[in-house]
Structure 1
Amino acid sequence: MLDGIDTMVIDLQDIGARFTTYISTVAHVIDACAEHGKGVIILDRPNPLTGTRVTGNVLNAGYVSFIGIHPIPILHGLTIGEFGRLWARDRQLPTPVIVPMDGWRRAMWFDGTALPWVPPSPNLPTLDSTLIFPGTCLLEGTNLSEGRGTTRPFEIIGAPWVEPDVLADALTELALDGVSFRPVYFTPMFSKHTDARCGGVQTHVSDREAFDSVTFGPWLLATLKRLYPDDFAWLPPNDGSHFIDKLAGSPELRETIDTGASIEALVAGWSREAAAFERDRSDILLY
Structure 2
Amino acid sequence: MLQFGIDQVLQQNPNWKQLRIGMITNEAAQTRDGIASRKALLDNGFNITILFSPEHGLDVTGADGHAMSDGTDTLTGLPVISLYGERLAPEAEHVKELDILLFDVPDVGSRFYTYLWTLTHVMEGATKFEKKLVVLDRPNPISGILELAEGPFLDEVNSSFIGRWEMPIRHSLTLGELALYFNETKKIAANIDVIRCKGWNRELFQPDWKLAFIPTSPAIQSFESMLLYPGLCLLEATNLSEGRGTPYSFTAIGAPWLQAERVAAMLNDISGGEFSAHAITFTPEHSKFNGQLCKAVRLEIHDRISFRPVLTGMICVKLIKTLHPEQFEWDIYPTNVNPSGKNHLDKLTGILGSEQLFDLPFAAFITAITKQTHARAWKEMVQQAILY
Aligned position for 1:41: 134
The answer for unaligned runs of 5 or more in structure 2 is 1-93, 334-338
Alignment of 1:68-217 (within 5 A): 68-92=163-187, 93-217=189-313
Aligned position for 2:367: 265
**Aligned counterpart in structure 2 of residue 245 of structure 1, from 346, 350, 355:** 346
Q: Distance in 1 between matches of 2:186 and 2:108?
A: 23
CA contact (8 A) 2:126 2:191 kept: no
The answer as to 2:129 corresponding to 1:28 is: no
Q: Distance in 2 between matches of 1:153 and 1:240?
A: 21
Structure with max Cα Rg: 2
Aligned position for 1:12: 105
CA contact (8 A) 2:107 2:175 kept: yes
CA contact (8 A) 1:138 1:244 kept: yes
Q: Distance in 2 between matches of 1:112 and 1:95?
A: 33
Q: Tell which deviates more after alignment, 155-164 or 257-266.
A: 257-266
TM-score (norm 1): 0.95
CA contact (8 A) 2:332 2:340 kept: no
Q: CA RMSD of the aligned region, Å? A: 1.6
Equivalent position amino acid for 1:152 in 2: Y
Equivalent position amino acid for 2:253 in 1: I
The answer as to 2:56 corresponding to 1:56 is: no
TM-superposed deviation, 1:20: 0.2
Q: Distance in 2 between matches of 1:255 and 1:35?
A: 41
3-state SS, counterpart of residue 147 of structure 1:
coil
CA contact (8 A) 1:218 1:253 kept: no
TM-superposed deviation, 1:184: 1.0
Q: Which structure is higher in RCO with an 8 Å CA cutoff and minimum separation 6? A: 1
**Aligned counterpart in structure 1 of residue 379 of structure 2, from 264, 269, 278:** 278
Q: Distance in 1 between matches of 2:330 and 2:373?
A: 25
CA contact (8 A) 1:56 1:271 kept: yes
TM-superposed deviation, 1:251: 3.0
**Aligned counterpart in structure 2 of residue 224 of structure 1, from 307, 312, 320:** 320
CA contact (8 A) 2:150 2:310 kept: yes
Equivalent position amino acid for 2:125 in 1: A
TM-score (norm 2): 0.71
Q: Distance in 2 between matches of 1:5 and 1:265?
A: 52
Identity %: 32
TM-superposed deviation, 1:163: 1.9
Aligned position for 2:355: 254
Q: Tell which deviates more after alignment, 250-259 or 213-222.
A: 250-259
Given the superposition, is the C-alpha separation of residues 59 and 95 from structure 1 closer, same or farther in structure 2, using an over 3 Å criterion? farther
Aligned residues: 286
CA contact (8 A) 1:146 1:154 kept: yes
The answer for unaligned runs of 5 or more in structure 1 is none
- 1:51-109 deviation line (CA, Å, top 9, x unaligned): 01211211000111111122110111110101111121112122510000111101111
TM-superposed deviation, 1:48: 0.2
